[in-house]
Amino acid sequence: MSSNKSFTVIIPARLASTRLPNKPLADIGGKPMIVRTAERAALSGAAQVIVATDHAEILAVCAQHGIAARLTRADHPSGTDRIAEVAAALGLAADAVVVNVQGDEPMIEPELIAATAAQITGEVPMATAAHAIDSAVDAFNPNVVKVVLNQAGRALYFSRATIPWHRDGFAQSREDLPAAYVPLRHIGLYAYSNGFLQTYPTLAVSPLEQIEALEQLRVLWHGYPIAVHIAPAAPAVGVDTLEDLERVRRFFSAL
């Protein structure tokens, strides 16, 4: 996997998880989930892959498997703040590209990581990804976050609502998507210039982000552009539940 842009992947990993206790350490085919995720991320062509964790147990597991890891403060309000601490400690240049890969994505596509990193330019300090929604069920599901883009492929808005709203099509029916209407589902993968990553924790929380419970709206609220890579298909599902974990285990056992 190669990209014309050098980038660093930092994977935030907290031991505490409300739905799945000790999730980063869950065994998947003989390796902990955090290790599987880091190994997938390494296939993206990243210059380095580092786990950012608040727990010595995750640090030790990474060391056992040859995965670089750094211990962070335990009181970070978000994974973004956690990776910002590590990026600062690494002494990365302001224009260095950092990709935030969630620690519960052991099946993440390496190509998706590289393509999102490649969106960062001098004018665009943050990037993410999306894919086309093909079902009305997903379009109307508030747990499926939608994004609307401008002509340059930058985010206009993210919402749990169905955007853009197809006025005429939905007046006829909400059982199926109208012809030629392609809403986009946001994929929770982020790239940043390190300069912006260090700025992000200093930005005031925005009303929009509080209303929608979507952290990325803070960036738009403060006037920063977000580039959006359109993936050709929906990515593999991350691990949020025990059912997700069993599905991932089956995938790895079949390899």
- Give the pLDDT confidence of 207-227 residue by residue, as tens digits: 999 999 999 999 999 999 999
AA identity, residue 192 = Y
Please name the residue that has the structure tokens 């079902």: 135
pLDDT band at 91 (very low <50, low <70, confident <90, very high): very high
Tell me the per-residue pLDDT of 11-64, one tens digit each, with 9 for 90 and over: 999 887 767 889 999 999 999 999 999 999 999 999 999 999 999 999 999 999
Backbone angles phi, psi at 55, to 5 degrees: -135, 135
The predicted pLDDT at position 59 comes to 96
In this prediction, residue 5 carries a pLDDT of 74
pTM of the model: 0.93
Q: What is the pLDDT of residues 74-90, one digit of tens each?
A: 888 888 999 999 999 99
| pLDDT top residue among 2 and 120 | 120
CB 145 within 8 A of CB 139: no
Q: pLDDT at residue 2 above 90?
A: no
Q: What is the pLDDT of residue 4?
A: 59
Q: CA 187, 107, 156 angle in degrees (round to 5)?
A: 10
DSSP state of 200: G
Match domain 7-246 to its CATH number in 3.40.50.300, 3.40.50.970, 3.90.550.10, 3.90.79.10: 3.90.550.10
Q: Grade residue 193 by pLDDT with cuts at 50, 70 and 90.
A: very high
Name which of 3-7, 14-18, 44-48, 123-127 the model is least confident about: 3-7
Banded pLDDT at 1 (limits 50, 70, 90): very low
One-letter identity of residue 129? A
Give the pLDDT band (50/70/90) at residue 182. very high
Looking up tokens 């335990």, which residue turns up? 74
pLDDT of 3 above 60: no
Cα(150)–Cα(153) distance, integer angstroms:
5
What is the share, in percent, of the chain residues with pLDDT greater than 90?
A: 89
Share of the chain above pLDDT 70, in %: 98
In tens, the pLDDT along 99-118 reads 999 999 999 999 999 999 99
For residue 161, what pLDDT is reported? 98
Q: CA-CA distance, 183 to 181, in Å (whole number)?
A: 6
Tokens of 18: 């409300």
Half-sphere exposure of 144 (CA within 13 A, CB side): 19
Q: Which tens digits make up the pLDDT trace of 136-161?
A: 999 999 999 999 999 999 999 999 99
pLDDT at position 78, please? 87
Torsion angles phi and psi, residue 88, rounded to 5: -65, -40
Q: Which among 232, 201, 235 has a CA at the least distance from the CA of 218?
A: 201
If one counts every other C-beta atom within 10 angstroms of the C-beta of residue 129, the result is 25
d(CA 98, CA 91): 12
